[in-house]
Amino acid sequence: MTRNPVSDLFQLYGERWPEIGDRLFIPGRDVRIAQNVEERIYRLGRGYKLAGDRLLQNAFGHPATTKT
């Protein structure tokens, strides 16, 4: 049987593949629903910026936390 490197990573970090019935977010517990269009647009932009910052930090060895 061929090994699947993605499955190996999931197993290494104690993760699992999503299953039918799983929920991505649960309102009130881990997500706040925007109350209007302006808030939604603001949160989308802020979220993309935060995600980009974190990707760069991971790609370049956490430059924001590295002392020079």
Backbone angles phi, psi at 52, to 5 degrees: -60, -45
**Does residue 66 lie within any of the structural domains?**
no
Distance between CA atoms of residues 2 and 63, nearest Å: 38
With 0.75 as the threshold, say if the pTM is over it.
no
Structural domains counted in the chain: 1
Specify if 30 maps to a domain. Answer: yes
For residue 49, is it within any domain? Answer: yes
Asked if residue 53 is part of any domain, the answer here is: yes
In a domain, 68, yes or no: no
Q: Rounded to the nearest 10 degrees, how much is the dihedral formed by the CA atoms of 57, 60, 66, 68?
A: -130
Q: Which domain holds residue 40?
A: 5-59
64 falls within a domain: no
Q: Name the nearest CA neighbour of 16 among 4, 7, 25.
A: 7
Rounded to whole angstroms, the Cα distance separating 57 from 63 reads 6
What is the identity of the amino acid at 63? Answer: P
**40 belongs to a structural domain:** yes
pLDDT at 4: 73
10-14, 34-38, 63-67 — which is least confidently predicted?
63-67
